[in-house]
Structure 1
């Protein structure tokens, strides 16, 4: 028999009754019933119940060892009595009567329990991550992550893509998020940068003629953490294709995402095909460029209804309305709580009215609306008796942010929110440029390497703020999975686009000379995208925080509490790297500047 096991803990069944077996695993749980020990033994594959009779050497040994001790047991598989069968456990029809035991790895008293999974703060969990990963939920998440990556690889390969590696040590990016820098020992005073994304390299692969590329790419950005973004590093399904238009990219990614979420989504419905929503339409209807389409409500721009109105709170402002059907019988508490939610999002309050019979309005602002206001308003929102209408007024961006959040919350509270579905969409037609509110200068609003719609002619003849780009985002359930674009592969277009953003020809050549040089030697039209692996797993696992999907994440302060990174290095190593330290008097973690993404699209934008 094998030194450690003849079977795993998850594979024994009724067919194995009367078989002599050897198992190894962790002591998960122990119960003493009148001297008979019942022990749950756990390994990667599952759980099996051991029974240990009194007055046996095995009973004495297993009575005193701590939970999470690693043991090897020998024994015989026996059938459980009918009353003791556990139908929720794959091995629930049998148990193993133990005849011998050996301790393989003793466990000290635990800093927190693995079973039951008691609440413990995140810092403690990350400090003892190897214990945290033994918990069923975390173990399941990491296995799910492995399944996601394996499935992505197989789906991409099946569509004719080649997995190609791009460099980890590269040149620093002149824009975008803050790089992680690696000092060069051989070239004093110079640094490599860890890639924020493989953007330029994957474009160079297209220029080199490889046609369809992908990789599960590690990306590094020195940015602050948030719930859907891990500090330091993340992984993405990086994709690039030659001789394609926007719709070609959509067809590939829709199939991959639909198949992936169908296979690993636990039977939940998946949107197919994904709707295409222009950016400006999304901002008006949903208050966001990453709309949660599970909420079956839309915002309506009613600014014109109140233009010049006698109701000063709305007059000459941007006003967005949210009609919520079937809320006529809701108590005042429903409206007050939704108002409190809006205030928590930054609003000063939340105005509302309720439509009764014969279109009569009730509510705090009903008395301020004229008969003409009421007629126009009801027509605009498609209201009827029993519909409540909520309002946000102010500047466009502020109203979008607040009412976008209220839209989703109202849908949840009023029963207009779909559960257990994956609602995907594409956000398309992003503006190429935007105006800096402080300086008034024209800047890129997204990825500056994107192809403008209309090409060179649009850049030369249109108002920059009216130019749209062949840029797109993929969104699922209100989470942005990735940005992508059809690339600008023409040097003349690149010079013109960067010129509108204030770059001289010399600056473009200095900062992006490698790409420009490549474009001058026969570049095919190409485009791509890079859905975030971490966020995909987060959605499939129903986890609110991305760190729950990563085996060994940094904490919110970008520290590895288990391994002690970042760490100091000694003076000899600093001298070898030609470095000297200059520490601030009181170091505070600086916020990374927002990504302008010249390095490429990714989950962290």
Structure 2
């Protein structure tokens, strides 16, 4: 190699040693008779020193011409620094340079390559190859690397086999919108990029592979936000001859292993909650359980007192904010403004202050006596000094709005600490959800999810009440993975397709290969897929998955660095028999 050491490994024990370093110039400090250069590589920073009278004149002059991000090779001797820097591991030494070679000059970069940069996100994404030189970005990708290696190590030890599945597959009508790829050799026909390897991993179970996994790229052509990208990575897994408990136990083990090996954290307990309880107590199928503030239904104590807003509501819902009775009018008005935001959608907010002297002060004193408000406090298990916040309306809308208010209060009160991790399984989701626009059922997860055995008899009579043998893993209010026990019987799979509005012909055209496979000895099987990018961002304490992807797309689905997507030539379009609309 061109170098003998990296810029992060030399210490005082290396004093008097000859060394050759290669890297990028972080900064140059020229004091006239002495010139220092901070040389950076992936491993750290080492200071180079050039001194008039001691450094050869031509070498000193050469050093004065160095600029930021020049790539250089420096040969010299390790010496002890007079003014040490305790902020970097190499801060006790510097290199007295005897030879300098410029391997490549650099234009002045458009932003500073430092942890605290002056570059905005759009600029940094345009020059992502420069942004990746920054320690803060590289550390995120190093975290991703460690998680990838530890995932493979755990699953390999558990006898899972990594199998690659096709990237060019068939478009199916269920799920999100597909990315479509035209076929030149089959004019007028198209591949789709996989939203997941779902059917292929099930076919691997039919093939007898028993335990499969893959760190796989998936694609969805959907609206984007901080935790979505058009292409993303899954930890995709499937197991044969298992029941739900086997899958949950295996992947509790994986998550505990990742926390321990990557972050040094022991996850002692992984709780479980039904979908029905999650919606009733938190208004969300991915509740943040780092803090309490569970919903309390107040219909029986709040209705029938002449307050029409509550009397006409399907649901009156309260939460308790501990120690917040001293909130000012300004703070309470701010909470009211918050719940009235379009994304929350409540019409107003009722509050009750549980005063230190045992009395109550509310925004509805006109309708409720002290005894009435005391009943509210008792139901909410509130004590003097607490604040009750109450919303009302139809059931779904009120739960959704209260979920937003609860999370807002959790953030305001510092209860959503990113250094605390609460892991939760949410179980027993509805198998189907009714779509008013299309007037038919859709699969809440996907059409290959098995119903719970005890709900089989409801498939014909009450399909909306059937629960799925499905499970999601939630960490700190973020869904990081989901899966189910699959259907492995052709007859049940056909029945499922009928419930989803498929004719026999449509089901055969789209999924005939899978139903045919079920007739050749398909074992009971189930699995799970984790959103790997999302898992990485959670471990790293970030809100955006883009930070953990080397070359991400922006919110418009564009790669601004390579300017993609882009137009293609008319010749390419002609080869594909595609005519663009004019």
TM-score, length of structure 1 as denominator length:
0.91
Matching residue within 290, 303, 308 for 1:294? 290
* Residue number in structure 2 paired with 1:523: 522
- Residue correspondence of structure 1 range 256-275 to structure 2 within 5 A: 256-265=254-263, 267=264, 269=265, 271-275=267-271
SS in 2 for 1:530: strand
Note if 1:284 corresponds to 2:280: yes
Kept in 1, the 8 Å contact 2:360–2:370? The answer is: no
Instruction: Tell me if the contact between 2:175 and 2:446 (Cα under 8 Å) persists in the aligned partners.
Output: no
Secondary structure of the 1:61 match is: helix
Give the structure 2 partner of residue 94 of structure 1: 93
1:446-465 maps to which residues of 2 (within 5 A)?
446-454=445-453, 457-460=456-459, 462-465=461-464
**1:331 and 2:328 equivalent?**
yes
- 8 Å contact kept, 2:115–2:135: no
**Does the CA-based 8 Å contact 1:296-1:416 persist in structure 2?**
no
1:342 alignment counterpart:
339
Partner residue, 1:484 = 483
Counterpart in the other structure of 1:50: 48
CA drift at 1:301: 2.1
Distance change (3 Å), C-alpha of 1:491 and 1:350: same
Match of 1:64 in 2: 65
Aligned CA distance change for structure 1 residues 441 and 179 (closer, same or farther; 3 Å): closer
In the alignment, what sits opposite 1:76?
Answer: 77
Please state how far the C-alpha of 1:58 moved relative to its aligned partner.
Answer: 3.1
**Deviation of residue 48 (structure 1)?**
0.9
Verify the 8 A CA contact 1:27 1:70 in the aligned structure 2: yes
Question: Could you say which residue in structure 2 is the equivalent of 1:26?
Answer: 24
For 1:63 and 1:342, how far apart are their aligned partners in 2? Answer: 60
- Match of 2:474, SS? strand
Q: Does 1:543 align with 2:562?
A: no
Residue in structure 2 matched with residue 532 of structure 1 by the alignment: 531
Q: CA deviation at 1:491?
A: 1.5
Partners of 1:415 and 1:192 in 2: CA distance: 48
Q: Distance in 2 between matches of 1:303 and 1:227?
A: 38
Asked if the contact 1:206–1:240 (Cα under 8 Å) also holds between the matched residues in 2, the reply is yes
> SS of the counterpart of 1:522?
coil
Higher mean alpha-carbon deviation, 302-311 vs 137-146, is at 302-311
User: Residue 140 of structure 2 corresponds to which residue in structure 1?
Assistant: 141
Residues 306-315 or 96-105, more deviating? 306-315
Compared CA separation, residues 172 and 419, structure 1 to 2 (3 A): closer
- CA distance in 2 between partners of 1:109 and 1:416 (Å): 44
Distance (Å, rounded) in 1 between the aligned partners of 2:10 and 2:507 = 65
**What is the number of residues matched between the two proteins?**
576
Using the alignment, how far apart are the partners of 2:538 and 2:414 within structure 1?
22
Offset, 1:564: 2.2
2:243 to 236, 242, 245: 245
Matched, 1:427 2:407: no
Shift in Å, 1:240: 0.4
Is the alpha carbon distance of 1:359 and 1:465 closer, same or farther for their aligned partners in structure 2, counting shifts above 3 Å? farther
Report the Cα distance in structure 2 between the residues aligned to 1:388 and 1:346, rounded to whole angstroms.
22
1:319 to 316, 321, 326: 316
Partner of 1:336, secondary structure, is helix
- For structure 2, the residue ranges without an aligned partner over 5 or more in a row are none
Q: How does 1:151-550 map to 2 (within 5 A)?
A: 151-230=150-229, 232-265=230-263, 267=264, 269=265, 271-317=267-313, 318-344=315-341, 345-356=344-355, 359-370=358-369, 373-438=372-437, 440-454=439-453, 457-460=456-459, 462-550=461-549
Query: Cα 1:461–1:562, aligned 2, differ >3 Å: closer, same or farther?
Result: closer
Give the Cα separation in 2 of the matches to 1:508 and 1:309.
55
Shift of 1:118: 2.5
Q: Deviations over 1:83-135 (max 9, x none)?
A: x3223312122111112111111101211111363342322211111011111
Query: Pairwise CA RMSD of aligned residues?
Result: 2.0
Q: Cα offset for 1:359?
A: 4.5
Is the 8 Å Cα contact of residues 295 and 407 (structure 1) preserved in structure 2?
Answer: no
CA contact (8 A) 1:296 1:417 kept: no
Cα distance change, pair 15–253 in 1 and its aligned pair in 2 (3 A): same
After TM superposition, the structure 1 stretch with the greater mean CA deviation from structure 2, 116-125 or 184-193, is 116-125
Change (3 A) 1:194 1:10: same
Between 1 and 2, higher relative CO (CA 8 Å, sep ≥ 6) is seen in 1
- Check conservation: 2:160, 2:211, Cα contact below 8 A: yes
Deviation at 1:556, TM superposition (A): 1.4
Q: Which deviates more, 409-418 or 17-26?
A: 409-418
Q: CA deviation at 1:511?
A: 2.2
Aligned to 1:366, the other structure's residue is in SS state coil
CA distance in 2, matches of 1:75, 1:376: 80
Q: 1:375 to 1:353 in 2, by over 3 A?
A: closer
Q: Distance in 2 between matches of 1:457 and 1:432?
A: 11
Whole-Å Cα distance in 1 between the matches of residues 514 and 238 of structure 2?
A: 15
CA contact 2:353–2:361 (8 Å) conserved in 1:
yes
Q: Distance in 1 between matches of 2:287 and 2:391?
A: 18
Is the 2:112–2:119 contact (alpha carbons within 8 Å) kept by the matching residues of 1?
Answer: no
Cα displacement (A) at 1:158: 1.1
| Cα distance between partner residues in 1 of 2:297 and 2:500 | 31
Higher deviation after alignment, 490-499 or 334-343: 334-343
Which whole-Å CA distance do the structure 1 matches of 2:150 and 2:287 have between them? 26
Supply the distance in 1 between the matched residues of 2:199 and 2:246 (Cα, whole angstroms).
21
Deviation at 1:462, TM superposition (A): 4.8
